[in-house]
Structure 1
Amino acid sequence: MSKASTPLDRIRNFSIIAHIDHGKSTLADRLIQRTGGLTDREMSAQVLDNMDIEKERGITIKAQTVRLNYRAKDGLDYELSLMDTPGHVDFAYEVSRSLAACEGALLVVDAAQGVEAQTLANVYQSIEHDHEIVPVINKIDLPAAEPDKVKKEIEDIIGISAEDAVLASAKSGIGIDEVLEAIVTRIPPPKGDREAPLKAMLVDSWYDPYLGVVILVRVVEGVLRKGQEIKFMATGTRHLVDRVGCMRPKIEQLTELAAGEIGFITAQIKEVSQTAVGDTITDAKKPTAEALPGFKTVQPVVFCGLFPVDAADFEKLRDSLYKLRLNDASFSFEAESSAALGFGFRCGFLGLLHLEIIQERLTREYDLDLITTAPSVVYKIQLAHGKGELDLHNPADMPDVMQIASIDEPWIEATIYVPDEYLGSLLKLCQDRRGIQKNLTYVSGRAQITYELPLNEVVFDFYDRLKSISRGYASFDYHQIGYREGDLVKMSIMVNAEPVDALSMIVHRSTAETRGRGMCERLKDLIPRHLFKIPVQAAIGGKVIARETIAAMRKDVTAKCYGGDASRKRKLLDKQKEGKKRMREYGSVQIPQEAFIAALRMGDEG
């Protein structure tokens, strides 16, 4: 068990803000190594990223924390709590809670790439929390590094002084001592009254097979002790604390966490869904008067269907989704069935990256082969004759047109950074996606564009197109700005006059024809030929807007005729024609799974 709590003026709580691949996790590794958190033998690259996907993609998905002891140049010992926050837009709410648990932030910017969109979004959140921001220019040993240009960018774009920015290279270990000194001297200590009633913020939670749910907390006031009965203010549940501790980054058990400290607790909680991120924890017997501000429940934004390729894997898929949900309460799922794809689940995600990560984890960790239907967003349908409002998650459930007064779709505000030479094609992409340009400014050779866009145009393949247009140089960040009415229609795909529910989608009337034609052309190449002609049609209601015909395979019935009268051949061909007509009436078209998978691949459809 650990000693008494550290005095408030010796504690520093800070997070690291950076764009993907600017060296955030590597810097965290060096800080842990320099302060003796782990020995060289225990060290591995990206210590705080404990999922394979996090390491491979160079992204952080779950917030992690580590407590470090550092003896500064003034001879005093300090306790540093580092929060490794996710950088991606899909996890913006988790980031806001992690930042609310700190007093300052290290702003890590790549010396070769400069400020990018996600850095910007998270820095503004940090400024809103009144943080002291310490700029760190990383990777200064790269041949393409331009630290002076990056300093100017930080000052021009973000508007904070970068004169005393720390120059570092986390990989080579340059400037690590300077970073530690800057944390101690420039980031303020936390405030808080240790005698007040307990008030702590639930920053994050994850499932541990041995301990149950582990909760990461920041104590704002009071003291959190082992054996104390606590209450979650948003959910109203009560629990008994059975373990208190901190990560160094190995687990160390403590007797208490006092105001200003960050650590973890366990309280025999079985499901992560009971612990809402951002909730306020207080003493059940002597509660605090008011909860901490900023709590909100996280709602899924993007929905899609997940179906096993092999129908026998349905139970396995259900078990895997339950296990994943133990660790990630922000995605939801419910069973659904499709005439074309069989039984599966309709799942809700925070965004496209979240969808991709869950899908990849199911494939990798649980060895499942999946078909994913085209992602769609939540539409709000205003019913006719004042019958109220309906949330539509699945295009197949859309009510009859006569019952609909209007359809509202979610809109986002996107901030895009792009080098000058790709600006033209990027503006065209945003215009094609019904974007409304709000702002266009130039900062040191790069354009910053602000656009309002409908979310359903973005979830489709916007991100892939953006990256291919800009050869990967554009960075993109967005937040939702509410719902607006749109001229939206349900487009059905029919094969041999039978609607295929898995391929139906909600589109804007202006782009319906292009989308429909693209889908029909693709299916024409994917569906194998039968002995009869197959029409592939895209339709809005009863009106067909695009059509392709898959030609019939033809058996040469006249092969046995050699010479003789032409009427003999004619007679055989007419007989074949009659048979084909009958087959066309009764023949059913088998669409292979591969055709579905390929048709639902989000390539460019227009």
Structure 2
Amino acid sequence: MDNIRNFVIIAHIDHGKSTLADRLLEITGTIEKRLMKPQYLDQLELERERGITIKMAPVRMIYHPDRGQCGQEADNAEKIESKLLYEELTYKIRGVFFAVRKAVGLGHKENIYQNILEQEFKKSDLSFEKEKIIDIFHEDKKVGVYRPDFIIENKVIVEIKSLPFIGKKEKIQLQTYLKGSDYKIGLLVNFGGKDVEIERFIFDKARNGKSPRSPLESAKSASSECILNLIDTPGHSDFSYEVSRALAAVEGAVLLVDATQGIQAQTLANFENAKRAGLKIIGAVNKIDIAQSEQIRDAVLDLAELLGVGIDEILKVSGRSGEGVPELLETIVKKVSSPRESEAGINRALIFDSLYDEHKGIMAFVRVFDGEFQTNGDIELMATKTRVKAKEIGYFIPQLKPSIGLKTGEIGYIATGIKDPNKLKIGDTICGPRMCVALSGYVEPQPVVFVSFYPAESDQYDKFKQALGKLRLTDSSLTFEPDASEVLGRGFKGGFLGRLHFEIAAERLAREFQIETVHSFPSVAYKVDGEIITNPKDFPNDYGVAEEPITKIEIVAPPQFLGAILQLKEIFRFSELETKTLSNKIMVTTKLPLADLIRDLDDKLKSVSQGFASFHYEIIGYEKAEVDKLEVLVAGHLVPGLTRILPKKDIEREARFTVEKLKELLPKQLFVQPVQAVAGGRIIARETIPAFKKLLGNFGKTGGDRTRKMKLWKKQRRGKEKLKEMAVQSKIKIPSSIFKELLKK
């Protein structure tokens, strides 16, 4: 397995990941030139229409380097120089951290983790000293003392934190203490974020400028043939869970930056994620064929500074022309480590994705970490204790290609034959016949946007339910649970990672499963008097304290647009604004309610910055909110799909807009339809849709018996009242097209 290299391409959206992947496929001969098409790995029709990657795409490439060997000979000197310091001890300590996370979860106080770690270190036979006082020196003079949380085996310093994220201050502190002490390595561990964060600092790096990360030891390779397993990933933040799953299946990452745009918000987020995953990160500047020399120079300098490497280590490539791509392949072979078997004698693979096949059942996309799997061999899905025989095993070229099996380090698929989507879970471990310990898997993402879905045709409910189950196999961040509406019938409440994620899911339901849906306005999860409310219709009219999720947003843009971006605070509820300079760009950091973010921040930001601004966000907690529930009644009947939670200051404006729009969109009936917006128990906006009129002759011009006409008018009034009564009893039907029109706003 020393000739295998597993890596991902990560970048901000539209920085050319998929185009670069095309050139890699072309140069390695994976795809014949006559069959090549732009964005070859983007298989979904929606991906091609929108020009963005939505699903991660794995592919296996065979590469024959022109120079050197693929194994140990590729760069023996570099491997020896950058061998991991205290490698085995570090892995053992990291294993304890993940065991603690699995046992008690995240977000507790630091002293709780310190006490539990003390017990776990004892269980793992790791000798340690707790809060030992060590002297700190500067230029051979004692300047103070330091008491780290733990010192393991008198070699490794461990500092425990429970913060939303590890900041620059904490990193500098540990680096400074390492420089001033006799210890060479320190681990900064944070249990307060979305997952365990482990930062590794080395004293030798501070003195000699050596990289703390290195390839794992590889055995000699008798062949120059390399197996390159690439996973192309999405760039939009709504699909960050796709990226995180890909990072767990590889050893290296190519961090790509568009030379014409420079470092963007998602570039920074992807870099932090790859660093936390412990990957070897290779920096590359793309689109050098269309960028100006100054733009290329600035992008190289910025990326080198971000990665902490020399500018000569940043590669310059063109995904369109192929310039510099062979050199990138050589660098991947040299610098990305080959896979390493973690436990001998067992068979284990991590499921990082899946899809449904009508004949072969669920196809699990896997990375094999230990042992090997063969067709018709016995396998077990550990989460559900499901035992089956592997119907087919193979790899991606990028189409599915059957093979006799998969060995340690390889990436491929296993056809399970399972037809029930509930029996397979992304992040689960597939074992062979022998019992094994589950791999750590993934921390499941928490949905931030909630939308209620209903089939446009009520008799399609069962088909809709099956479609959602199959969709979740290829989109594991999607969550759903049954929901019901008096007007719209039975449906599901879906949880999504963002508004774009929700829009893509709705489109895929329509295209891949031929199910048209009606859905409510996107909403977020509120805390009302301590209770979580995800459905606006459940929001109480009278409440004590309401809290809403708050995000921390980092906006990156050219400095000339700073004024326009700051003016957005007149529309959005920005707070705690801060600005700082990033080389030739500015970064605006601010807090913003999630409800404002999912409304139309992206569109407004792109508009005021002429498309040059980008942003990344993370949820940091809840804060008190001044909000109220806006409900809409048509002909006296509540329409739950139009219920929303809005800031009190925006209620009247939104109410007026909604009733006016409904008056414009709703078809006339044979009776008058009042359209009312209600908030806080009172009607705050109203419009009336007039009834169709049936003329009973023109009495003024044609004459005729007036008493006869009066009798007909009276009969008509009684008929309209009866029609209105029947309509209210059978519930007013709101066409799905009207919901879609309202959501376009």
TM category (shorter chain) comes to 0.7 to 0.9
Instruction: Report the CA distance shift for 1:241/1:595 in structure 2 as closer, same or farther (over 3 A).
Output: closer
Instruction: Report the CA distance shift for 1:357/1:584 in structure 2 as closer, same or farther (over 3 A).
Output: same
Spell out the pairing of 1:424-443 with structure 2 (5 A cutoff).
Answer: 424-430=563-569, 432-437=571-576, 439-443=578-582
Counterpart of 1:566 in structure 2 is none
Spell out the pairing of 1:25-174 with structure 2 (5 A cutoff).
Answer: 25-72=18-65, 73-75=67-69, 76-142=224-290, 146-156=295-305, 159-174=308-323
Moved more, 475-484 or 350-359: 475-484
Partners of 1:493 and 1:159 in 2: CA distance:
56
Instruction: Give the number of the structure with larger relative contact order, counting CA–CA contacts within 8 Å between residues 6 or more apart.
Output: 2
The residue type paired with residue 410 of structure 2 is: E
Instruction: Give 1:502 deviation, angstroms.
Output: 2.0
Counterpart of 1:349 in structure 2 is 496
Instruction: Report the CA distance shift for 1:483/1:584 in structure 2 as closer, same or farther (over 3 A).
Output: farther
Corresponding position: 1:265 with 2:414: yes
Candidates 327, 332, 342, aligned match of 1:183: 332
For residues 275-320 of structure 1, the C-alpha deviation after alignment (integer angstroms, 9 at most, x for no partner) is 32223334452423xx433622344332223344455655654554
- What secondary structure does 1:192 align onto? coil
Partners of 2:719 and 2:608 in 1: CA distance:
50
Partners of 2:276 and 2:577 in 1: CA distance:
23
Instruction: Report the CA distance shift for 1:454/1:194 in structure 2 as closer, same or farther (over 3 A).
Output: same
Instruction: Report the CA distance shift for 1:580/1:242 in structure 2 as closer, same or farther (over 3 A).
Output: closer
Q: How many residues align?
A: 579
Counterpart of 1:499 in structure 2 is 638
Corresponding position: 1:392 with 2:540: no
Candidates 573, 579, 590, aligned match of 1:451: 590
Partners of 2:627 and 2:321 in 1: CA distance:
54
- What secondary structure does 2:271 align onto? helix
Instruction: Give 1:535 deviation, angstroms.
Output: 4.9
Partners of 1:196 and 1:430 in 2: CA distance:
60
The residue type paired with residue 519 of structure 1 is: T
The residue type paired with residue 537 of structure 2 is: A
Instruction: Give 1:31 deviation, angstroms.
Output: 1.2
Tell me, yes or no, if the aligned pair for 2:261 and 2:612 is still in contact at 8 Å. Answer: no
Tell me, yes or no, if the aligned pair for 1:206 and 1:328 is still in contact at 8 Å. Answer: no
- What secondary structure does 1:517 align onto? helix
Corresponding position: 1:379 with 2:526: yes
TM-score normalised by L of structure 1: 0.83
For residues 149-185 of structure 1, the C-alpha deviation after alignment (integer angstroms, 9 at most, x for no partner) is 2112324556554433222222222222111111112
Partners of 2:528 and 2:384 in 1: CA distance:
30
Candidates 434, 449, 459, aligned match of 1:302: 449
Tell me, yes or no, if the aligned pair for 2:426 and 2:476 is still in contact at 8 Å. Answer: no
Instruction: Report the CA distance shift for 1:246/1:561 in structure 2 as closer, same or farther (over 3 A).
Output: closer
- What secondary structure does 1:163 align onto? helix
Instruction: Report the CA distance shift for 1:129/1:161 in structure 2 as closer, same or farther (over 3 A).
Output: farther
Partners of 2:277 and 2:484 in 1: CA distance:
46
Partners of 1:229 and 1:553 in 2: CA distance:
69
Candidates 7, 14, 32, aligned match of 1:21: 14
The residue type paired with residue 68 of structure 2 is: D
Moved more, 316-325 or 580-589: 580-589
Spell out the pairing of 1:206-605 with structure 2 (5 A cutoff).
Answer: 206-288=355-437, 291-293=438-440, 295-309=442-456, 317-318=464-465, 320-382=467-529, 389=531, 391-398=532-539, 400-401=540-541, 404-430=543-569, 432-437=571-576, 439-527=578-666, 535-548=674-687, 560=699, 587=724, 593=735, 596-597=738-739, 600-603=742-745
- What secondary structure does 2:312 align onto? coil
Partners of 2:435 and 2:713 in 1: CA distance:
88
Instruction: Report the CA distance shift for 1:157/1:428 in structure 2 as closer, same or farther (over 3 A).
Output: farther
Tell me, yes or no, if the aligned pair for 1:120 and 1:158 is still in contact at 8 Å. Answer: no
What is the alpha-carbon root mean square deviation over aligned residues? 3.7
Instruction: Report the CA distance shift for 1:99/1:332 in structure 2 as closer, same or farther (over 3 A).
Output: closer
Partners of 1:547 and 1:235 in 2: CA distance:
53
- What secondary structure does 2:545 align onto? strand
The residue type paired with residue 683 of structure 2 is: V
Tell me, yes or no, if the aligned pair for 1:301 and 1:377 is still in contact at 8 Å. Answer: yes
For residues 235-265 of structure 1, the C-alpha deviation after alignment (integer angstroms, 9 at most, x for no partner) is 4444433433322334444444333332222
- What secondary structure does 2:234 align onto? coil
Tell me, yes or no, if the aligned pair for 1:219 and 1:260 is still in contact at 8 Å. Answer: yes
- What secondary structure does 2:244 align onto? helix
Tell me, yes or no, if the aligned pair for 1:193 and 1:259 is still in contact at 8 Å. Answer: no
Partners of 2:342 and 2:673 in 1: CA distance:
75
For residues 127-168 of structure 1, the C-alpha deviation after alignment (integer angstroms, 9 at most, x for no partner) is 112222212222211155721121123245565544332222
Counterpart of 2:168 in structure 1 is none
Tell me, yes or no, if the aligned pair for 2:23 and 2:325 is still in contact at 8 Å. Answer: yes
- What secondary structure does 1:377 align onto? coil
Tell me, yes or no, if the aligned pair for 1:272 and 1:327 is still in contact at 8 Å. Answer: no
Structure 2 residue runs of 5 or longer lacking an equivalent are 70-223, 702-708
For residues 552-600 of structure 1, the C-alpha deviation after alignment (integer angstroms, 9 at most, x for no partner) is 88999997559xxxxxxxxx99x999x9999799956867637733662
Instruction: Report the CA distance shift for 1:557/1:253 in structure 2 as closer, same or farther (over 3 A).
Output: closer
Tell me, yes or no, if the aligned pair for 1:273 and 1:326 is still in contact at 8 Å. Answer: no
Partners of 1:591 and 1:278 in 2: CA distance:
42
Percent identity over the alignment? 38
- What secondary structure does 1:439 align onto? strand
Extract structure 1 runs of 4+ deviating beyond 6 A: 529-533, 551-559, 579-586, 588-591
Partners of 1:602 and 1:293 in 2: CA distance:
41
Instruction: Report the CA distance shift for 1:446/1:524 in structure 2 as closer, same or farther (over 3 A).
Output: farther
Partners of 1:503 and 1:552 in 2: CA distance:
23
Instruction: Give 1:33 deviation, angstroms.
Output: 1.9
Moved more, 589-598 or 350-359: 589-598
Partners of 2:369 and 2:468 in 1: CA distance:
35
Tell me, yes or no, if the aligned pair for 1:106 and 1:136 is still in contact at 8 Å. Answer: yes
Instruction: Report the CA distance shift for 1:523/1:422 in structure 2 as closer, same or farther (over 3 A).
Output: farther
